Chain A
């Protein structure tokens, strides 16, 4: 029973039924909404500072202690800007697109377990819900690209769709590995099943899922849809003011959401010694986000064909083989010896990565990808 349901039950003795049902729900939604917005603001600041340090700069440090109020100043600046709709653009779709990008990100947090019971709804199909909901924002990005009546925006939108279709497959196959071992689709059950984190039990699945989600949240080195140097700003080239802020929030919210999902699926969620569970959860989320920023600071952007071939030739076959291996292990190996599974999976991960990296060699002055 989640904390929300306990609250509803307790309130049911005092208030009429309908109020006892609705009010705790609204309170829970407000708490999650506040968590998302506040952590997105903190993440924006954190990424800019961390990226600065990776590039031997300081990053924003003027506003407030260590520049902590910089994202707020940026938000105020963005909100004060004029809202422009292109003259020949599709106005209704142009208005609708930022909402459709941002709202699914919030919906993901309905099934993120912050600790035992601290989850809005403990859906029994939680992870399927996440996969389904997170795909919707692609539609929003495509709408933004279409409604802007701008060639760069449309190119970016088409790239996003291709990227999402390609990377959804290996991501879902990697999730299936986790689901096979857990025997449940519920996020709470997945966390509860991880005495040994799945990142250790299924290293290859973890790597595939991590790379796939980084591609899905459209961050560097897979940020082809807003490649500044090629298509200027991509799908939000014609956006300004509040609508741009929605895209911006949606992008960082996506990063936050996927950090939470990675933590839940592979890094054993809230579990950890000594510290309270929610602190462990936040530590893991920040660690995942730091690695994503680290990748952004290091790796150059992929070409479109490289991106496609990395998904279809690299991640997808590896994900399928990984799924077969895990299925065989779940079927035949006893559950009492996780370390045997760990050893087997590590060997398979290394062998597979070595084999598949033959496909992506650069050599002889010719790029064969």
Chain B
């Protein structure tokens, strides 16, 4: 006598969904909560380190699209001074070849991924915009030393307060539960 045939299957299914009521939701509330991206993300908005750049234009030669425009003149100490360094990120396909080609680690992929602009001209980034700032951090792509310092990727929001999460406010059901899944 198999009890699956007497409505036990339905009861099991109902019990399973009932248990789900007491689990924490796995929803990521995007603009407020953000997950850590991969440490080697080829995010947009390349990062340019002005002090390491020699103006050799290897990156511009490596670019399959020809997006990088670089203009230099010879400085006092027999070096190149970069007058203009512009990347058209609107046409960039984020292959990362410029970063791999740079002999002095002066160029890195960025970690940010929110690149929407209101004007088409705004996606062409100039010398000042390309430098490191709070919102423009270099990723570990082809840069193992940067990668070692970055936080690890996570795929879920952690609801547990001990792990730096926040409490859930839907009838307080999931307060005592652990991580998202």
Contact = CB atoms under 8 A, between A and B. Distances in A.
Chain B: number of interface residues, binned into ranges: 20 to 34
Contacts of A354: 6
Given A56-B26, A357-B6, A298 B17 contact: yes
Contact of B17 (A52, A61, A297, A353): A297
A58 B170 contact: yes
Contacts of B173: 53
A55 B20 CA distance: 7
Interface in B19-58: 20-21, 23-27, 29
Nearest to B14: A298
B18 A49 contact: no
Contacts of B7: 353, 357
A363 interface: yes
A328 interface: no
Nearest to B15: A298
Interface string A34-77: 00000000000000010011111110010000100000000000
A57 B29 CA distance: 11
Contacts of B26: 56-57
A306 interface: no
A358 interface: yes
A55 to B, nearest CB: 7
Contacts of B23: 56
Contacts of A56: 20, 23-26
B151 interface: no
Given A54-B21, A56-B26, A58-B170, A357 B14 contact: no
B10 interface: yes
A299 B17 CA distance: 10
Contacts of A294: 14, 17-18
A58 B14 contact: no
A6 interface: no
A124 interface: no
A22 B29 CA distance: 52
Contact of B27 (A58, A66, A353): A58
Interface in A257-298: 294-295, 297-298
A52 B13 contact: no
A177 to B, nearest CB: 21
A54 B170 contact: no
B5 interface: yes
Interface string A101-137: 0000000000000000000000000000000000000
A198 B125 CA distance: 74
Contact of A361 (B5, B10, B21): B5
Interface of A: 49, 52-58, 61, 66, 294-295, 297-299, 353-354, 357-358, 361-363
Closest 6 CB pairs of A and B: A298-B17, A58-B27, A58-B25, A357-B6, A361-B5, A298-B13
7 contacts: A52-B25, A56-B24, A56-B25, A61-B170, A294-B17, A299-B13, A353-B7
Given A49-B170, A57-B27, A353-B6, 8 more contacts: A52-B25, A53-B173, A54-B20, A56-B20, A56-B24, A58-B25, A299-B13, A363-B5
